[in-house]
A and B are shown apart, each in its own frame.
Chain A
Amino acid sequence: MKDAAFAKFVVLVNGLVPLALLCWDAWNHQLGTNPQEFAIRTTGMTALVFLMLTLAVTPVRKITGWNFLSNFRRLLGLFAFFYGCVHLFIYFGLYQSFSIGAVAADSLKRPFIFFGMTALLVMLPLAATSTNGIIKKMGAKRWKQLHKLVYVAGIAGVLHYFYLVKADERKPLAFAAVLAVLLGYRIAKGLSPAARPVAPARA
């Protein structure tokens, strides 16, 4: 195995660690007093962490010059989507008894469900267009444009968390701060004169 392939393999294995620990805990009945709540909380948290990691790849790569980091971006994004789906599945099954109508009503009625749904729905086309073949078919430019939706997913994901907590907002605020830095970096770069195309001098 080449080093690059091995590095991806490391990311893959690490991405499965939360799932493995969750299954291990479930198998050993170590999910605590309210296992349903624990499972839905941890999968949501894990999805959010992977979403932040995905968004961190580009800024960290640019600052450090470690270009190999971009190899991991797709995998990290897919893990965010994967854990988001497990999170949704628990909500769908245990909280809404697999009733699509109830989920739809809940999504429109409650801001935190609405934002959570938004985050996942937005990630769906991103996950679906993540293969090399599709990137080629779409063309890099269009693909890149579509994948800007990940910013929407990040914002919706953090809002989802923020609207859920009762009073202790420290954790959602920490995620909001991380997100602000990651998006702020992009805005700063985008707006800085160096990044702007140089206007041709007028004669």
Chain B
Amino acid sequence: MVIKQGGQLGDGDVTDQSVYLNRRKFMRAGVLAASVLATGWVYRRLNAPPMVKSADRPLAKVVAATEPEAEPMLGPNDLKTSFDDITHYNNFYEFSTDKESVAAAAAGFVTRPWQVEVGGLVSKPRVFDLDDLLKISPPEERVYRMRCVEGWSMVIPWDGFSLSKLLDRVQPLSSAKYVAFQTLMDPNRMPNESSDLLSWPYVEGLRMDEALHPLTILASGLYGQQMPPQDGAPVRLVVPWKYGFKGIKSIVRIDLRADEPPTTWSAYAPNEYGFYANVNPEVDHPRWSQATEQRIGDFERRPTLMFNGYADQVAALYAGMDLRANF
């Protein structure tokens, strides 16, 4: 039997220097590429990539609002914000604290059946099924500016009706001075409600005259579509001269009462968020200025207007009040 000699290497077996160097180059390229991918991944993780392309936003022309009282209130620079932006940039902490993640987190939110209980100091307390609630009045388009306390703003074509129409149905007693609102409490459907980020359920409130003001609406849709979950489905409050957080979403309970109701953000940080929360460029948030705002879609910031530009309609409500003390 012939045993082939193995194990001994001849000259021909030595890796050519150029091959060796190429392999080295190849490995280095691999290391570089892998590290770049890893860094890119970390960057994307830390800075959740936004989901909407801002370039694709068709900027709609200002469309005359159907409601006479809303008509004169849009300026020439108030272009409607796109549906995409309105529905992918939301503060709705029940679902996510990341504004661009709320849409995905709220996607399967079930809003039927849905009931809204209206009670407290009223002569006709009632639990409304959603359909009955929405039948109180046909939805009107109300194109309002929306100014977030964080310093950004949009122009949103809401569909809804004045809250006063609902309040008429339940006949408030003369002792009712405030209206309290409450969001759904259901950690199975609103995942962050099982966290202690804020105290849940989210609650808000208005003074009676604010609640009865014709600009204050219960909105059930936007851009002619049913309210998307991330924007507060099925029904939410819109108070255009106040910071956005006053516009409580996914309402299940409305209570009329004699005393000022607690509100979520002012309970969380009383020195930063007041009960009134009227948009006011002269009263800063303790940590940031409220003098300017980033209108979504604009490049530069713009000055914030007193009462968000609704001073003519609402300033009288606060005549004689110190707006610095009652922020």
| Residues in A lying within 8 Å of B, measured CB to CB | 6, 9-10, 13-14, 17-18, 21, 25, 28-38, 41-42, 45-46, 49, 94-95, 97, 106, 110-112, 163-164, 166-168
Q: Which chain A residue lies CB-closest to B55?
A: A29
Knowing A37-B294, A46-B43, say if A94 contacts B301 (CB, 8 Å): yes
Asked if A167 and B47 sit within 8 Å, CB to CB, the answer is: no
Asked if A32 and B54 sit within 8 Å, CB to CB, the answer is: yes
User: Is B180 in the interface zone, CB < 8 Å from A?
Assistant: no
Asked if B35 and A168 sit within 8 Å, CB to CB, the answer is: no
The contact of B294 among A9, A31, A36, by CB within 8 Å, is A36
Residues of B within 8 A of A36 (CB): 294, 299
Asked if A49 and B46 sit within 8 Å, CB to CB, the answer is: yes
Encode contact with A along B44-69: 1 for CB under 8 Å, 0 otherwise: 10110111111110000000000000
User: Is B70 in the interface zone, CB < 8 Å from A?
Assistant: no
Asked if B36 and A17 sit within 8 Å, CB to CB, the answer is: yes
Contacts between chains A and B (CB distance < 8 A), count: 97
Residues of A within 8 A of B317 (CB): none
Within the assembled complex, what's the spacing in Å between the Cα atoms of A45 and B100?
Answer: 17
Q: Which chain A residue lies CB-closest to B272?
A: A166
The contact of A33 among B54, B268, B287, by CB within 8 Å, is B54
User: Could you jot down 8 A-B contacts, CB within 8 Å?
Assistant: A30-B53, A32-B52, A32-B54, A32-B100, A38-B47, A42-B46, A49-B46, A163-B287
Within the assembled complex, what's the spacing in Å between the Cα atoms of A95 and B291?
Answer: 11
Knowing A21-B40, A110-B288, say if A32 contacts B51 (CB, 8 Å): yes
Within the assembled complex, what's the spacing in Å between the Cα atoms of A28 and B292?
Answer: 27
Residues of B within 8 A of A37 (CB): 152, 294
Residues of A within 8 A of B53 (CB): 28-30
Name B86-123 residues within 8 Å CB distance of A. Answer: 88-89, 93, 97, 99-100
Asked if B294 and A10 sit within 8 Å, CB to CB, the answer is: no
Chain A binding site: helix, strand, loop or mixed by DSSP?
helix
Asked if B50 and A38 sit within 8 Å, CB to CB, the answer is: yes
Encode contact with A along B191-206: 1 for CB under 8 Å, 0 otherwise: 0000001100000000
User: Is B13 in the interface zone, CB < 8 Å from A?
Assistant: no
Residues of B within 8 A of A28 (CB): 53, 55
B275 to chain A, nearest CB (A): 18
Within the assembled complex, what's the spacing in Å between the Cα atoms of A110 and B54?
Answer: 31
Asked if A166 and B40 sit within 8 Å, CB to CB, the answer is: no
B55 to chain A, nearest CB (A): 3
User: Is B140 in the interface zone, CB < 8 Å from A?
Assistant: no
User: Is B300 in the interface zone, CB < 8 Å from A?
Assistant: yes
Residues of A within 8 A of B255 (CB): none
Which 9 A/B pairs are nearest by Cβ-Cβ distance?
A32-B50, A29-B55, A33-B89, A168-B97, A42-B47, A17-B39, A14-B39, A33-B85, A18-B43
User: Is B32 in the interface zone, CB < 8 Å from A?
Assistant: yes
Residues of A within 8 A of B289 (CB): 106, 110
User: Is B28 in the interface zone, CB < 8 Å from A?
Assistant: yes
The contact of B287 among A6, A32, A49, A112, by CB within 8 Å, is A112
Within the assembled complex, what's the spacing in Å between the Cα atoms of A25 and B50?
Answer: 10
User: Is B31 in the interface zone, CB < 8 Å from A?
Assistant: yes
The contact of A167 among B35, B97, B300, by CB within 8 Å, is B97
Residues of A within 8 A of B279 (CB): none
Asked if B296 and A34 sit within 8 Å, CB to CB, the answer is: yes
Residues of A within 8 A of B40 (CB): 17, 21
